[in-house]
Amino acid sequence: MMRGSSRSKSTQNLDRTVCMTNCPTLIVTVGLPARGKTYISKKLTRYLNWIGVPTREFNVGQYRRECVKIYKSFEFFRPDNEEGLKIRQQCASAALNDVRQYLADEGGQVAVFDATNTTRERRQTITAFAEQNGFKVFFVESVCEDPVVIAENIVQVKLGSPDYMNCNTEEAMEDFKKRIECYENSYETLDEVWDRHLSYIKIIDVGRRYLVNQVQDHIQSRIVYYLMNIHITPRSIYLCRHGESDLNVKGCIGGDSGLSPRGREFAKYLGKFIESQDISDLKVWTSQMKRTIQTAEAVSVPYEQWKALNEIDAGVCEEMMYEEIQQHYPLEFALRDQDKYRYRYPKGESYEDLVQRLEPVIMELERQENVLVICHQAVMRCLLAYFLDKTAEELPYLKCPLHTVLKLTPVAYGCKVESIFLNVDAVNTHRDRPENVNIHRTTEDALQTVPAHL
Amino acid sequence: SGLMVSCVAVAQHVHTGDGQYPCRVSQVSQLAAALWLWAWYFLPFSSASVPQLTNSPTLIVMVGLPARGKTYISKKLTRYLNWIGFPTKVFNLGQYRRDAVQTYKNFEFFRQDNKEAMQIRKACASNALKDICIYFSKENGQVAVFDATNTTRERRVSIVSFAKEKGYKVFFVESICDDPDIIAQNITEVKVSSPDYVNCDKEEALADFLKRIECYKQTYVPLDDEKDRNLSYIKIFDVGSRYLVNRVQDHIQSRIVYYLMNIHVTPRSIYLTRHGESELNLLGRIGGDSGLSPRGHKYAASLGSFLKGQNIKDLKVWTSHMKRTIQTAEHLGVPYEQWKALNEIDAGVCEELTYEEIQEKHPEEFALRDQDKYRYRYPKGESYEDLVHRLEPVIMELERQENVLVVCHQAVMRCLLAYLLDKTSDELPYLKCPLHTVLRLTPVAYGCKMENIFLNVEAVNTHRERPVKQKGENGLKPSINVVNFLNLCLIPAIWGGGGGGGVACCHIVLS
């Protein structure tokens, strides 16, 4: 799979990182308030960054809040409020300016311009701006008339907004509804005829229907595929590692060993825990390695095996202890500490490779509802980084201890995380970045952060 | 002959793991302590190594006037789905009609008021649906593409109730196009040469076909936003400039939509070649990451000249991450992109061995590979099946692109070729992909025209033919299979699992 331009400076790989797109892309949201534009913007941004495409969102509402310190009422948004209009236009311009800087000067590849953009006039301005700067434009319009969905949106994300800090629920609801009305009269939806030369996807009723027009390139095609796979049905994703394995106990990485006695106990507790959660229609996924399969066996629910969930391949370092890696491959060991995300074990993989390998798993996770994923340390770090929007720098150091289940529940614009330790002891397999990552460091410095083992 | 296996562990759907798609394993109970082996013919892994992501079969129903690309889409989609491991088959109503009415006279057959013809056409549709039933229930099909106009609501309603009755999911694919140029082009490419018009000249055929289309236009009711809002469908406008997607139900429909949104009909060529001859090639060793031999470099230079001579517009060049393809591309003097997914099949413990050494060190593995080369996975390595999954994003991007040169490896090239030429998984591992030869594939009509261009630089032959199958006297496989079964019984836990230790699945199917 092609990789985004991660601007990698790793020298040991003679790869060339590849741009997903030749020119930067400006994604422009379109839609009335409370149609999920910001939800989509944030989620899409998170996904694109995770797969290696530098992306940033620019929320015009944020700019407006910085400009007009205190929000009074919906009157600000009235179409005949000239002063309000002026400020809003300035904010949009300021945001576009920052977009230009991000895409042209800061190495960004995709910018998401999150605003209502409900008039043709506004969209034409943006298109002209993009043309001027050599950016491709892709519109994402969300159309929804279901009052139940809209009310739910308002409750989830608007009531808690800084705009309504000093209002009670009813007041805020009322005001926001009037705000929406201010936009309704001038709303010009993307039109099949008038806008047939624009590239866009129209999402209707939270994904029941899509209209896709003039997809120009690979990244737009990926964006469309992603948007067509996400949903907002409430559900939870459970992530955990296999139970403690025999190789874990010895302090060895990789391999394909079975569970230790404590690992088997964890598997039993996991089964009980899952039962107690009383989850409807739970899907269970494992890798193809013994330790995850043995763990799933105790859960007593049919499970599916994904090769893509296999642990990171440590190549020549498979089944070695950190001490042995330091002994046999001190240079490699140091290089890994220097750039753990991009570093590829000789004849093995990097975290970056893992992310690519896991992309179909993420896509399927998006499509599914309640899922339990029983996987491995590096794999779980990658999945967690996707859900919690962690950077490539943070990803390889995320804490994913054995015998702990993470329950992720999407809420508002992010993910609520509950960490549940199932009370069966296990070795610690987490190795922090040591202070000294120089290739000439001493063995002592190299092994400074290695966790205890047999 | 014959020890018995009382395998208590029996999984209903037994599949190998594959690259991207999960394989389902149902409840497995513990293996009895005493195992008896039944010397049947074992495949190392399941013959049904297909990810069963959905329990019910899917019926794809094409909708559209004649010459709107329905058969093109049907065949292409079927080829893609089969390649990624979903058994799929096209049921073309025109074929049924040709079998029923031996000679085609003219468009009058398709007139709305031609009662006799209507009877025949209805009977054909009915037969096709019956055959689809058989395909799903008896032939392990997972997807059937019903390729017909299906232009009336009445016809579609009857298909939907048929499917509902049988428990099939339905997904409509409608192609809408009013561009007279495209339609004329379609007619010229595929209709004029159809068996229907074998005795006509081009103009006659074109005129008759246009009248045929008129017959359908009168009763054509496209899928409607309102009335059909509960159906699952994709509407393709003007050969892909626009799509309307409604109610995608599941994973496979989502993949189908993604695929359909990435294909195009712009004329272009795909060039496939292996890297130049490598140092390890010369030594008869498989895998590894060696550089080019002197002849390999010579080939790369010739390749450069060849491409210049072809004068290809906007050619994209893709290589793998391995030295030998990169070195080959370097000679071309044009920018190239590296794909890790294009790396050669990982031969695991057999990397860099000669076939003789493999026979010496891993004779059982060697034999197993010959028994099922497509699904066989090298220990600590990959199978062709894994390769196909790994290559799927490459195929998707190849579909999106126009002129592309892919510099890759033998196993990889076989997989790509199998996709482009619709080869089965059985044929795939034995496709001939010699060194120093460029294959130029140009989509034409419903398939691909292939030109084989040897660039006149000698190289070793790396092709190993399918060996002749050996059967034991009584028709059973020789005892090596017993060893293979033990070897491939995945989990040592079977032997050494401690108290209460559940036994993981056994990947076996008895064929």
B-proximal residues of A, 237-296, CB under 8 Å: 258-259, 261, 264, 267-268, 285, 288, 290, 293-294
| CB of B418 closer than 8 Å to CB of B373 | no
Name the residue in chain A with its Cα closest to that of B24: A304
Question: Strand, coil or helix: what is B341?
Answer: helix
Interval B213-230: pLDDT, tens: 999 999 999 999 999 999
CA A430, A357, A312, A306 torsion-angle sign: positive
A-proximal residues of B, 223-252, CB under 8 Å: 225, 229, 241-248, 251
φ/ψ of A441, rounded to 5, equals -70, 165
Give the closest of B26, B261, B497 to A215, CB-based. B261
Question: Does B13 score more than 90 pLDDT?
Answer: no
Query: For residue B340, which residues of chain A lie inside 8 Å, CB to CB?
Result: 1, 15, 353, 356
> What number of CA atoms fall less than 13 Å from residue B484's CA on the CB side?
26
Does the distance separating the beta carbons of A1 and B341 come in below 8 Å?
yes
CA angle A305–A307–A311, rounded 5-degree value: 110
CA B305 – CA B456 distance, rounded (Å): 12
Name the residue in chain B with its Cα closest to that of A259: B501
Give the closest of B19, B394, B493 to A290, CB-based. B493
Q: Which of the four pLDDT bands, split at 50, 70 and 90, describes residue B189?
A: confident
Mean pLDDT across the stretch B54-65? 90
DSSP category for residue B421: H
Residue B489 pLDDT: 34
Distance from CA of B309 to the nearest CA of A (A): 27
Q: Specify the pairing of strand B270-274 against strand B437-444.
A: antiparallel
Distance from CA of B454 to the nearest CA of A (A): 29
Which residue has 């805020």 as its token pair? A172
Tokens of A226: 């992603």
Q: Which of the four pLDDT bands, split at 50, 70 and 90, describes residue A126?
A: very high
From residue B88, give the alpha-carbon distance in Å to each of A116, B140, B178.
44, 9, 30
φ/ψ of B457, rounded to 5, equals -120, 120
Q: Which of the four pLDDT bands, split at 50, 70 and 90, describes residue B260?
A: very high
Tell me which of B147 and B473 has the higher pLDDT.
Answer: B147
Close Cβ partners of B449 (under 8 Å, ≥ 6 residues apart): B441, B442, B443
CA B128 – CA B52 distance, rounded (Å): 25
| CB of A376 closer than 8 Å to CB of A312 | yes
Strand partners, B243: A212, B236
Closest CA to A289 of A309, A269, A273: A309
Mean pLDDT across the stretch A324-336? 95
Beta-strand ranges (E) seen in A232-292 are 237-241, 283-286
The answer to whether residue A198 neighbours chain B at the CB level (below 8 Å) is no
Lowest model confidence (mean pLDDT) among A342-351, B125-134, B354-363? A342-351
Closest CA to B340 of A293, A285, A349: A349
**Residue A320 Cα to chain centre, angstroms:** 32
Question: Does A233 score more than 50 pLDDT?
Answer: yes
Q: Is B427 annotated as a binding residue?
A: no
Distance from CA of B296 to the nearest CA of A (A): 20
Does the distance separating the beta carbons of B338 and A15 come in below 8 Å?
yes
**End-to-end alpha carbon distance in chain B:** 17
H or E stretch including B245? strand B242-246
Does the distance separating the beta carbons of A307 and B17 come in below 8 Å?
yes
pTM of the model: 0.82
Amino acid at A250: K
Which of B232, B257, B317, B383 is the best mutation test for A, with the most CBs of A within 10 A?
B257
| CB of B340 closer than 8 Å to CB of A353 | yes
What ipTM does the predicted assembly reach?
A: 0.83
Query: For residue A217, which residues of chain B lie inside 8 Å, CB to CB?
Result: 400
Catalytic machinery residues of A: 242, 311
Residue A9 pLDDT: 29
Mean pLDDT across the stretch A363-381? 96
DSSP category for residue B219: T
Question: Strand, coil or helix: what is B371?
Answer: helix
Lowest model confidence (mean pLDDT) among A274-278, B101-105, B330-334? B101-105
| CB of B50 closer than 8 Å to CB of B252 | no
Question: Strand, coil or helix: what is B484?
Answer: helix
CA B59 – CA A400 distance, rounded (Å): 43
Residue B45 pLDDT: 31
Burial of B511 by CB count in 10 Å (0-12 exposed, 13-18 middle, 19+ buried)?
A: exposed
Range with top average pLDDT, A443-447, B110-114, B117-121, B169-173: B169-173
Residue B507 pLDDT: 34
Strand partners, B406: B272, B318
Interval B27-47: pLDDT, tens: 333 433 333 333 333 323 332
Residue B104 pLDDT: 87
Burial of A184 by CB count in 10 Å (0-12 exposed, 13-18 middle, 19+ buried)?
A: exposed
Q: Is B421 annotated as a binding residue?
A: no
Q: Is B435 annotated as a binding residue?
A: no
Query: For residue B400, which residues of chain A lie inside 8 Å, CB to CB?
Result: 217-218, 221
Which residue has 């289309």 as its token pair? B213
Mean pLDDT across the stretch B268-274? 97
Catalytic-labelled residue, pool B15, B174, B297, B344: B344
Query: For residue A268, which residues of chain B lie inside 8 Å, CB to CB?
Result: 500
The answer to whether residue B340 neighbours chain A at the CB level (below 8 Å) is yes
Residue B31 pLDDT: 39
Interval A191-218: pLDDT, tens: 999 999 999 999 999 999 999 999 998 8
Mean pLDDT across the stretch A128-152? 94
Query: For residue A303, which residues of chain B lie inside 8 Å, CB to CB?
Result: 25
Chains A, B: CB pairs < 8 Å: 130
Domains of chain B in start order, with CATH, are 3-27+478-510 (no CATH), 58-260 (3.40.50.300), 270-454 (3.40.50.1240)
Mean pLDDT across the stretch A9-35? 65
Residue A298 pLDDT: 87
Catalytic-labelled residue, pool B15, B275, B362, B507: B275
Question: Strand, coil or helix: what is A286?
Answer: strand
Burial of B469 by CB count in 10 Å (0-12 exposed, 13-18 middle, 19+ buried)?
A: exposed
Task: Report the mean per-residue pLDDT for chain A.
Answer: 91
H or E stretch including B440? strand B437-444
SS3 of B116-159 = HHHHHHHHHHHHHHHHHHHHHHHCCCCEEEEECCCCCHHHHHHH
The answer to whether residue B21 neighbours chain A at the CB level (below 8 Å) is yes
Catalytic-residue membership of B275 = yes
Q: Is B276 annotated as a binding residue?
A: yes
Query: For residue B26, which residues of chain A lie inside 8 Å, CB to CB?
Result: 302
Give the closest of B17, B25, B338 to A16, CB-based. B338
CA B491 – CA B508 distance, rounded (Å): 12
Does the distance separating the beta carbons of B27 and A302 come in below 8 Å?
yes
Close Cβ partners of A127 (under 8 Å, ≥ 6 residues apart): A137, A198
CA A241, A247, A251, A252 torsion-angle sign: negative
Residue A412 pLDDT: 84
Closest CA to B388 of B409, B422, B419: B419
**Residue A203 Cα to chain centre, angstroms:** 20
Mean pLDDT across the stretch B223-240? 95
| CB of B405 closer than 8 Å to CB of B315 | yes
Does the distance separating the beta carbons of A228 and B338 come in below 8 Å?
no
| CB of A369 closer than 8 Å to CB of A235 | yes
**End-to-end alpha carbon distance in chain A:** 40
H or E stretch including B298? helix B294-310
Residue B470 pLDDT: 53
Residue B469 pLDDT: 62
The answer to whether residue B335 neighbours chain A at the CB level (below 8 Å) is no
Question: Does B473 score more than 90 pLDDT?
Answer: no
CA A17 – CA A9 distance, rounded (Å): 10
CA B171 – CA B157 distance, rounded (Å): 13
| CB of A191 closer than 8 Å to CB of A129 | no
Residue A217 pLDDT: 87
The answer to whether residue A305 neighbours chain B at the CB level (below 8 Å) is yes
Question: Does B231 score more than 70 pLDDT?
Answer: yes
CA A37 – CA B351 distance, rounded (Å): 51
Question: Strand, coil or helix: what is B81?
Answer: helix
Burial of B509 by CB count in 10 Å (0-12 exposed, 13-18 middle, 19+ buried)?
A: middle
Does the distance separating the beta carbons of B262 and A221 come in below 8 Å?
yes
Mean pLDDT across the stretch B343-366? 94
Q: Which of the four pLDDT bands, split at 50, 70 and 90, describes residue B505?
A: very low
Tokens of B209: 């076909």
